[in-house]
Structure 1
Amino acid sequence: MKLYYYDHCPFCVRAKMVAGYKQVPVEYIVLLNDDSETCMRLVHKKQVPILEFDDGSAMVESLDIAHKFDEIGEKSRVVSPATDIQKKVTDELSEVSSDINALLFPRNVKASLPEFATKSAIEYFQGKKEKNLGKSFDQAMAETAEHKKKVEDKLATLSFHPDNTNENLSWDDVMIFPTLRNLTIVKDIKMPQRLQDYVKHISALTGIQLYYDRAL
């Protein structure tokens, strides 16, 4: 099996979390951000993650792929059921989604991520995301302090108090961790200690790398 993904993509992180935790033998392939051809060949639309099976068939939708990995992975490594906290936390984070995007999008292309290894891949992403933001990446970077404060204020009051000693991944984690992980690309972003411990704990549990070493 092959999993095609982007490193910065939170939906891809969902699938990779379960694959890593459940010890699924899968080949990971990073696509260039402007590689439409591979996506169209496999699933007839530009979308990641894509799971390609050995018989050449393929599937999309991050949670469907994550559940497939749960089904075929190591049975002794249980993914705990979701709770009501998942929606509460994702709703709270969505209140500052425009600020999160303004922090993440320009840093994604500056942090030497593999999906942006070519100029054309960077230009493709930047053109789309600047329209999404309604501002240039340069402007978003210049406004870092403003966006960072709004996100930090939200993190400080987030309704999430994880048990960082639990060695079982949960479906709550699959939904909550990707955004917090991606925020580690923002240099010196302030998270409550419980959230700092959480992202490190889930990173160790799943093999998903954090961005502290390339934060901007």
Structure 2
Amino acid sequence: MRLLPFIYIFIFGVVLTVALLFIEQPFWLIYIVIIAVYVVLLVLPPMYTVYKSNNLKKIERFLEKNKKKPIFAYALAVQTGNREEIIDTIQMILSKYKQPYVQEVYKANLALFENNISLFEQRAKQISKEPLHTYYIAYAEALKGNFENAQVLKKKLPVGWMPCAIDAIIAKAHGDMIAFHQAAEQSINLARGVQKFNLFYSFKWMEKE
């Protein structure tokens, strides 16, 4: 069934090519048009789902179709809330993706899910790119109970889901579940794509902890 849309797109490309040839368009123009059509129909929809979609069900369907890729398997593991499964998928990511930035972020995540807060803080400081560097350090400060430091760091974060997520983490540490739910909801509403999916289920997981 997953092959059917590609067949339709291929047929559409062939028909479009024949039509352009029939009206005697130059070869270079036909080539550009066909490439553009394939990019719009094949590349842009998954990119939109990953980075911009606001539909959790649509994101989940995309993740299920692509769960052989460790990063997407990780998001599905977060959905289950199974700590061992989450750790296994993080280790798969670390094994497959050797880019320094990916290693930095997911090593921090690994320490977090292993409940090793001191190691989590150490690895948060090693993240080389902003704003995640500041976000993860603020996260570590909140977990350590250094709420004033977390609030100072939060103010350095760009407007969006990150400051609200820090507010939720601080509220959870205080045991204020009403404030936690409010901040978590704000953070989720401001996020998009797979990040929204991760936040939605991460907060559910945090609520049960």
**Under a length normalisation based on structure 1, what TM-score does the superposition of the two structures give?**
0.29
Query: Structure 1 or 2: larger helix share?
Result: 2
Structure with the bigger RCO (C-alpha within 8 Å, sep 6+) is 1
Larger radius of gyration: 2
Query: Structure 1 or 2: larger strand share?
Result: 1
**Under a length normalisation based on structure 2, what TM-score does the superposition of the two structures give?**
0.30
